């Protein structure tokens, strides 16, 4: 009989016969050995008997290994060198596949790391459809509460500049810088209140910002024509919110575009209340930010903006939170107009103000 050609049932049968024959042989050996000993001696050496049993067990295990080592299927051919090469190819394919998976995993980790830059996001309809989604990059300003108010608005457009055939209203350009500042602050986790709001303008990238008169004060209050009533309405809204956030870090920033003679060029400058040390510190931090910005982007130009106290200004005098009053430039001057006409410049102004406010918050 060809043992290699047996099926699996046949191999089990051979295994059974083989093991049992070994067992019978060992049993006969034990009987033939022990019987004479029993005749000569009244007892058996126990240790020697244990050795025999151990020998019996080892022989049985050896028989098992011999049977199991043989092929069990006649249809499975012996492995040839060609098959090894095929196995090698499969191995290389699996290696390539694992490399691809690793690359995908690495790419996924990189994307996850990049997404970590965006902590969360929120939607603010006031910013307009293009800028409504605000990605919160970090929480550097968490806990800070800011009140932002652009100058004039509603029935009062403020100062009017001329650019060719176009009119440049102060309130529209001051508002665009202010709302950009609001968004920049929110990107760092700050709580921001726009005290003066335009329901449909949002953040605009146009060069010429058209004049309208639909601005309202916080909580949709109609802006009065009378200047004193208008300013009081603004400070009252701020002071109510100030009481609501009692104990928090709170600051008020109001942004204007100055009106002087057309030939006078002025830099951005800042006012604070004479008795407000923290207001002065905020103004100085924003001033430093502008100084650094001009040195970086206009190194051949001196920045002449300054910080001073002007306690007589209504908003500075009557707002309870520390307040900084910012004049962005002279809207009637051709050189200063470049600071406002380009959307990128308006964004830069907002960013520099934001940087100064962040620096101030670190010193709280």
Does residue 132 sit in the same domain as residue 278? yes
Total residue count of the chain as it appears in this document: 364
On whether both 201 and 171 belong to a single domain, the answer is yes
My answer on whether 194 and 233 are in the same domain is yes
Tell me, what's the pLDDT at 1? 41
Model pLDDT, residue 119: 80
Confidence of residue 115 (pLDDT cuts 50, 70, 90): very low
What value does the mean pLDDT take over residues 296-309? Answer: 93
Domain count, the chain: 3
H or E stretch including 254? strand 249-258
pLDDT at 51: 53
Domain-embedded: residue 50 = yes
Q: In the prediction, which pLDDT does 264 show? A: 76
99 and 224 part of one domain: no
pLDDT tier at 48 (50, 70, 90 boundaries)?
low
Q: What is the DSSP string of 194-238?
A: ESEE-TTT-S---SSPPP----EETTTEEPPSSHHHHHHHHHHHH
Same-domain status, 41 and 99 = no
CA distance 34 to 351: 104
> Looking at the predicted structure, is the pLDDT value of residue 95 above 80?
no
pLDDT at 271: 98
pTM of the model: 0.69
Of the pLDDT bands very low, low, confident and very high (cuts 50, 70, 90), residue 342 is: very high
Domain span holding position 278:
120-362
What pLDDT does 17 receive?
47
pLDDT at 52: 57
pLDDT of residue 297: 92
Between 109 and 128, the higher pLDDT residue: 128
Residue 295 has pLDDT above 90, yes or no: yes
- Please tell me the distance from the alpha carbon of residue 235 to that of residue 325, in angstroms, as a whole number: 13
Please say if the pLDDT value at position 173 is more than 70. yes
What lies within 8 Å, CB to CB, of 331 at 6+ separation is: 159, 160, 161, 168, 170, 173, 257, 258, 259, 337, 340
Which range is most confident: 36-40, 99-103, 327-331? 327-331
Q: 139 phi and psi, to 5 degrees?
A: -120, 40
């Amino acid at each position: 009989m060809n043992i290699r050609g047996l099926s699996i049932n046949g191999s089990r049968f051979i295994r059974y016969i083989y093991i049992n024959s070994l067992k019978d042989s060992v049993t006969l050996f034990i009987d033939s050995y022990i019987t004479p000993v029993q005749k000569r001696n009244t007892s058996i050496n126990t240790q020697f008997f244990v050795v025999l049993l151990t020998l019996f067990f080892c022989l049985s295990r050896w028989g098992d290994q011999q049977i199991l080592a043989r092929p069990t299927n006649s249809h499975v051919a012996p492995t040839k060198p060609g098959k090894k090469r095929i196995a090698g190819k499969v191995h290389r394919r699996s290696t390539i596949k694992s490399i691809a998976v690793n690359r995908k995993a690495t790419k996924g980790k990189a994307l996850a790391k990049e997404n970590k830059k965006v902590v969360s996001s929120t939607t603010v309809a006031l910013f307009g459809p293009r800028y409504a989604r605000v990605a919160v990059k970090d929480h550097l300003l968490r806990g800070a509460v800011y009140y932002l108010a652009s100058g004039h608005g509603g029935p009062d457009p403020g100062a009017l500049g001329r650019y060719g055939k176009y009119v440049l209203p102060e309130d529209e350009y001051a508002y665009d810088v202010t709302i950009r500042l609001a968004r920049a602050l929110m990107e760092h986790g700050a709580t921001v209140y726009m005290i003066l709001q335009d329901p449909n303008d949002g953040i605009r990238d146009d060069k010429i910002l058209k004049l309208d008169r639909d601005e309202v004060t916080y909580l949709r209050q109609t802006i009065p024509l009378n200047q004193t009533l208008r300013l009081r309405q603004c400070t009252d809204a701020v002071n109510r919110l100030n009481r609501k956030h009692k104990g928090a870090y709170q600051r008020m920033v109001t942004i204007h575009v100055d009106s002087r003679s057309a030939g006078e060029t002025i830099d951005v400058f800042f006012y604070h209340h004479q008795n407000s040390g923290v207001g002065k510190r905020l103004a100085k931090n924003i001033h430093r930010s502008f100084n650094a910005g001009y040195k970086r982007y206009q190194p051949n130009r001196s920045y002449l903006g300054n910080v001073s106290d002007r306690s007589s200004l209504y908003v500075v005098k009557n707002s309870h939170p520390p307040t900084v009053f910012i004049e962005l430039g002279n809207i009637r001057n051709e050189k200063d107009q470049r600071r406002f006409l380009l959307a990128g410049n308006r964004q830069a102004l907002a960013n520099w103000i934001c940087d100064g406010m962040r620096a101030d918050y670190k010193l709280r």
